[in-house]
Amino acid sequence: MNIFEKGWCRFFQKAIYVCSPFLPWRQPEILNFKEGIKDLPEFIEKKGIKSVLVVTGPNLYRLGAPMPIIDGLKERGINCVVYHDTVANPTIENVEEALKMYHEGKCECIVAFGGGSPMDCAKVVAARVVRPKKPVSKMKGLLKIRKKIPTFIAIPTTAGTGSETTLAAVISNSQTHEKYAINDHSIIPHYAILDASLTVGLPPKTTATTGIDALTHAVEAYIGKSNTKETKLMAEKAVKLIFENILKAYEDGSDITARENMLKGSYYAGVAFTRAYVGYVHAIAHTLGGFYHVAHGLANSVILPYVLDYYGKSVYKKLARLADITGLSKDGDTDEVKAKKFIQAIRDMNKKMDIPEKFEGIIKQEDIPVMVERAYKEANPLYPVPKFMGKKELKEMYMKISG
């Protein structure tokens, strides 16, 4: 990347940062129900809503996880339409199928139940409701919706994406294998339910990769150049909670305290990155999801330490602070030593949780040029990264992670 490209990127990022306080930011209202999701139908009834679309995934639906909501709504005479075919990297087809059900059911409210995939799908359904003439492909990027969406309630069943608090949704085009982000304040959920009991049944592998996904959100937000006092605080709290609880949750899925802390950490990380943005880890991860259907959390988990290595001294001071917060540093350690300890700790956690070091046998060499182009366009000029990657550096990164 030449000096003019770098200058344009920093100018763009600074403009976004300066304008940011004037944008319609909000955080979802957290619904603290005594009986968790069982109390949601009563809340919806009191709001006078007559028809609801529930968006979830096939496994959760098969296990009956959202049934307390579905049955409770029906008992109260509220029409409930369920879309349960959301795939791991939700597609435009998923959005259009769910949108059709929303209109056929004359729905007034959307409940997203699951991990990041159902929530992302539901967000874009809401966007299509208020922008019926704008196809999903035209929503890519910043502020393409700008209209009030229907009542939106997000219920995370994983502690990772933080999607219940963010302005972002990521959608895949199954025809072109492109995966892109849609960012608009209007798709931030109105309400969220953080019920740790819903995460108790998560398989260890999912606990691991979604947990490192949340850590990636916090770290990328923290080391970027668009932080505020709040995003720094939220990121620090998230990193501390995740470091202290992820292995506990991984090793003992029934540890409800660890599960609650991971859910809080994921939420705090979501608050941080929805304002401070992410970086090259996400840009690269999105291409792997689009081309090879690699789960987003797994992609972030593998890529994160490599990108932090690349940033080098540009992030030593901030990573040193995170090393202090997580108890990794010792008296006399330099910032460089602390930062490298922090990066190594991520690698050690990955290893303990059986997360692979590289994507061996997955990335095809002939796909790399297109992935480089897409990652480059996603990250630049939007992401306020501490150190730029040009196309040459991105190609080298794909080669490293491919093994």
CATH number, domain of 332, equals 1.20.1090.10
Which residues make beta-bridge pairs with 81?
Answer: 53
- Whether 170 and 81 map to the same domain: the answer is yes
Q: What is the model's pLDDT at position 117?
A: 95
Domain edge (last residue) among 175, 199, 223:
199
The one-character DSSP state at 148 is P
Q: What is the model's pLDDT at position 391?
A: 97
- Whether 207 and 325 map to the same domain: the answer is yes
Amino acid symbol at 385:
V
Would you state the structure tokens that stand for residue 25, as one six-digit string?
């930011």
Q: Is residue 23 assigned to a domain?
A: no
Whose CA is closest to 388, among 397, 396, 379?
Answer: 379
Mean pLDDT in residue range 95-99: 98
Q: What is the pLDDT of residues 311-352, one digit of tens each?
A: 999 999 999 999 999 999 999 999 999 999 999 999 999 999
Q: Is residue 235 assigned to a domain?
A: yes
Quickly state the pLDDT bin for 201 (edges 50, 70, 90): confident
- Whether 347 and 382 map to the same domain: the answer is yes
Mean pLDDT in residue range 250-269: 96
Neighbouring CB atoms inside 10 A of 187's CB total 26
Quickly state the pLDDT bin for 395 (edges 50, 70, 90): very high
Q: To which residue do tokens 């040459």 refer?
A: 392
Q: Is residue 327 assigned to a domain?
A: yes
The pairing of strands 178-183 and 141-142 is parallel
Amino acid symbol at 380:
N
Say whether pLDDT at 268 is over 90.
Answer: yes
Q: Is residue 239 assigned to a domain?
A: yes
Task: Mention every residue, 6+ apart, whose C-beta is less than 8 A from residue 163.
Answer: 112, 115, 116, 119, 120, 123, 154, 156, 169, 270
Would you state the structure tokens that stand for residue 211, as one six-digit string?
């947990």
- Whether 187 and 244 map to the same domain: the answer is no
Task: Mention every residue, 6+ apart, whose C-beta is less than 8 A from residue 128.
Answer: 95, 96, 99, 134, 136
- Outline where DSSP puts E strands in 47-92: 51-55, 79-83
User: What's the pTM?
Assistant: 0.94
Mean pLDDT in residue range 190-204: 93
Residue 164 CA, distance from chain mean position: 9
- Whether 146 and 230 map to the same domain: the answer is no
- Whether 185 and 207 map to the same domain: the answer is no
- Whether 225 and 158 map to the same domain: the answer is no
CATH number, domain of 49, equals 3.40.50.1970
Q: What is the pLDDT of residues 47-87, one digit of tens each?
A: 999 999 999 999 999 999 999 999 999 999 999 999 999 99
- Whether 135 and 282 map to the same domain: the answer is no
Q: Is residue 313 assigned to a domain?
A: yes
Q: What is the pLDDT of residues 155-193, one digit of tens each?
A: 999 998 899 999 999 999 988 989 989 999 999 999 999
Q: Is residue 253 assigned to a domain?
A: yes
Q: To which residue do tokens 């992609």 refer?
A: 299
Which residues make beta-bridge pairs with 285?
Answer: none
Mean pLDDT in residue range 190-207: 94
Count of structural domains within the chain:
2
Q: How far apart are CA 287 and CA 214, in angstroms?
A: 19
Q: What is the model's pLDDT at position 368?
A: 97
Q: What is the model's pLDDT at position 180?
A: 87
Domain edge (last residue) among 199, 222, 254:
199
Q: Is residue 22 assigned to a domain?
A: no
Task: Mention every residue, 6+ apart, whose C-beta is less than 8 A from residue 373.
Answer: 391
Q: How far apart are CA 253 and CA 203, in angstroms?
A: 8
- Whether 217 and 360 map to the same domain: the answer is yes
Q: What is the model's pLDDT at position 85?
A: 97
Would you state the structure tokens that stand for residue 132, as one six-digit string?
């019926």
Q: What is the model's pLDDT at position 272?
A: 96
- Whether 112 and 168 map to the same domain: the answer is yes
Mean pLDDT in residue range 278-282: 97
Quickly state the pLDDT bin for 276 (edges 50, 70, 90): very high
**Cα–Cα distances in angstroms (integers) from residue 315 to residues 31, 227, 308, 340, 349, in the given order:** 37, 14, 8, 10, 20
Q: Is residue 24 assigned to a domain?
A: no
Domain edge (last residue) among 199, 229, 263:
199
Residue span of the structural domain in which 285 resides? 3-17+202-402
Quickly state the pLDDT bin for 403 (edges 50, 70, 90): confident
Say whether pLDDT at 30 is over 90.
Answer: yes
- Whether 124 and 111 map to the same domain: the answer is yes
Q: The sheet that has 141-142: what strands, in order across it? A: 141-142, 178-183, 168-173
- Whether 195 and 240 map to the same domain: the answer is no
Q: How many CA atoms lie within 13 A of 126 on its CB side?
A: 35
